Amino acid sequence: MSTLSDKRQRERHLGLLKYLASELGVSVKQVTRYWDRNLIPNRYRTPGGARRIRYKHGTVEQVRRMVDAAKETNIQIRYRLAEIRYKGLTVSVKGCNSMDDLYRRARKVGLSKREAADLAYRPRLKKPSPSSDEVAWQVMWALQGTSHEEVVKSMRELDCIPLLLLMAAKSDEDFQLRAKRALENIESSLTNPEQQKAKIIAKELLSERDLRTFVQRWNEATELEQTEARVFYQAKEQAVNDRDRLNLQVAVLRLKHQQSAPSSLALANSLNMSRPGLYRTFGVRAIQNALMAIRNDARSVLQSRNDKWARGQNRHTKAPKT
């Protein structure tokens, strides 16, 4: 055991790739690929041209993270991205399976070597999965035809009310005094025309005569209605059991509210993924059913498809000789 440890330490001291290969559980040939792709920090060549690594504390873990990031980036390029916008240019990712493919594509559209490398080799990691609550809220917003930004803007209209200060009132008279001062501060600070709605809401809430009624009105303004709450908790339960299907439904609702054409490409863009990635994730049947659900008249769509097929048949049919 001591002999093996001494051997490993010697490999580390000499900067050999074999040490990193042993720590990562891969072959030396694979570590050589990592070295050539600049996935290993503090790499260098000897005067004779041999590959070496200046090992430091944490080098192995750093390489492991960089390799994982590179693998995830290749997955994003192959299955998720449709195009990338860079310095006014739109680079199509279709047909690219790796960062190297994307680099060659960037060079073809006219980017310099440095710009192409910056576009192609930057990490593109998968976004962390949202919680069940976040997915349920996305369903609620999609059903209401609103967005997260609009909800945040609406909630900010209540930020001007000093809730904690009002809740600390010891009596109804104390509450009225605190509410009066709070309203005076709000009216003096909210002077822009865009803030008039917030002033009206604040005035209605702060006009209550006692703390109990104010709290009740506050809850009504901030909490879900009973029907909305039932939908919310149903969506939350579905998010736990079948999150992919729920995400697809949310994307379909967005297309409907945006009045976008019900196509698989639009659906992929709504989900921020490529069209092949869309079919890989959800399957053909689920996508077809989802798109059919937002078309106004399924029968007219089917008839339209039949008409297109008939026109195609007539176009390929030879005209009779006269």
- Long-range CB pairs of 208-211 (<8 Å, 24+ gap) are 208/179, 209/172, 209/176, 210/172, 210/175, 211/166, 211/167, 211/169, 211/172, 211/175
Q: Are 268 and 274 in contact (CB under 8 A)?
A: yes
One-letter identity of residue 297: D
Query: Can you give the residue ranges of every domain in the chain?
Result: 8-56, 77-120, 148-226, 242-313
pLDDT of residue 34: 92
Measured CA to CA in angstroms, residue 318 lies from 82, 309, 314, 315 at distances of 40, 16, 8, 8
> How many Å apart are CA 254 and CA 218, to the nearest integer?
30
pTM tops 0.75, yes or no: no
* β-bridge mates for residue 43, sequence order: 53
Sign, Cα dihedral of 64, 70, 75, 76: positive
Measured CA to CA in angstroms, residue 253 lies from 16, 82, 226, 257 at distances of 56, 21, 22, 6
Sign, Cα dihedral of 251, 252, 253, 254: positive
pLDDT (tens place) for every residue of the chain, 322 residues total: 456 588 888 999 999 999 999 999 999 999 999 999 888 999 999 999 999 999 998 899 999 999 988 888 888 888 778 888 888 888 989 889 899 999 999 999 999 998 998 888 888 876 666 666 667 767 766 766 665 555 555 556 667 788 778 888 888 888 899 889 888 888 887 777 767 777 787 888 888 888 888 877 776 666 555 555 566 667 777 777 777 777 787 888 777 777 777 788 888 877 777 788 788 888 888 888 878 876 654 443 444 445 555 555 555 555 555 4
Measured CA to CA in angstroms, residue 34 lies from 18, 29, 39, 66, 117 at distances of 13, 9, 5, 9, 16
Measured CA to CA in angstroms, residue 295 lies from 124, 253, 263, 291 at distances of 34, 11, 10, 7
